[in-house]
Structure 1
Amino acid sequence: METLFAYLLIFAAISGALASDPDLLQDVCVADFASGTKLNGYACKDAANISASDFFFDGLAKEGVPNNLMGSVVTAANVQKISGLNTLGVSLSRVDIAPGGLNPPHTHPRATEIAFVLAGVLDVGFITASNVLVSKTIKKGEVFVFPRGLVHFQKNNGDEPAAILGAFNSQLPGTQSIAATLFTATPEVPDNVMTKAFQIGTKEVEKIKSKLAPKKA
Structure 2
Amino acid sequence: MLIQSVIVFSFLLVASYASVQDFCVADLSLSDTPSGFPCKDPKKVSVSDFVYSGLGAAGNTTNIIKAAVTPAFTAQFPGVNGLGISTARLDLAVGGVVPMHTHPGGSELLVVIQGTICAGFISSANTVYFKTLYKGDIMVFPQGLLHFQINSGKGSALAFVSFSSPSPGLQITDFALFANDLPTEIVAATTFLDVAQIKKLKGVLGGSG
SS for the counterpart of 1:145 is strand
Q: Matched residues in 1 for 2:122 and 2:161: separation? A: 18
Shift of 1:52: 1.4
| Residue 153 of structure 2 is aligned to residue 158 of structure 1 | yes
| Structure 2 residues without counterparts, runs of 5 or longer | 1-18
Q: Deviations over 1:129-173 (max 9, x none)?
A: 111110111101110111111100111121110011111110000
Q: Matched residues in 1 for 2:34 and 2:153: separation? A: 44
| Structure showing greater Rg | 2
Shift of 1:82: 0.7
| Residue 192 of structure 2 is aligned to residue 194 of structure 1 | no
Shift of 1:202: 3.1
Q: Matched residues in 2 for 1:183 and 1:101: separation? A: 19
Q: Matched residues in 1 for 2:28 and 2:86: separation? A: 18
Give the TM-score taking structure 1 as reference length. 0.82
Shift of 1:39: 5.4
2:113 and 2:160 in contact (8 A); partners too: yes
Shift of 1:56: 1.6
Tell me the amino acid that sits aligned with residue 149 of structure 2. Q
| Residue 160 of structure 2 is aligned to residue 168 of structure 1 | no
- Residue in 2 that maps onto 1:51: 46
Q: Matched residues in 2 for 1:80 and 1:193: separation? A: 35
SS for the counterpart of 2:79 is helix
Note closer, same or farther for the CA distance 1:29–1:66 as it changes in structure 2 (3 Å cut).
Answer: same
Q: Matched residues in 2 for 1:145 and 1:174: separation? A: 16
Which of 184, 194, 197 in structure 2 is aligned with 1:204? 197
Q: Deviations over 1:176-208 (max 9, x none)?
A: 1110112123xx222221011222343322211
| Structure 1 residues without counterparts, runs of 5 or longer | 1-23
SS for the counterpart of 2:55 is helix
| Residue 57 of structure 2 is aligned to residue 67 of structure 1 | no
| Residue 139 of structure 2 is aligned to residue 133 of structure 1 | no
- Residue in 1 that maps onto 2:118: 123
| Residue 209 of structure 2 is aligned to residue 177 of structure 1 | no
Q: Within 5 Å, which residues of 2 pair with 1:10-159?
A: 26-35=21-30, 38=33, 40-159=35-154
Report percent identity of matched pairs: 37
Q: Matched residues in 2 for 1:25 and 1:42: separation? A: 18
Q: Matched residues in 1 for 2:32 and 2:73: separation? A: 20
Shift of 1:38: 4.8
Note closer, same or farther for the CA distance 1:37–1:155 as it changes in structure 2 (3 Å cut).
Answer: closer
**Runs of 4 or more consecutive aligned structure 1 residues displaced over 3 Å after TM superposition:** 36-39
What RMSD in Å do the two structures reach over aligned CA positions?
A: 1.8
Shift of 1:65: 2.5
2:122 and 2:129 in contact (8 A); partners too: yes
- Residue in 1 that maps onto 2:4: none
- Residue in 2 that maps onto 1:14: none
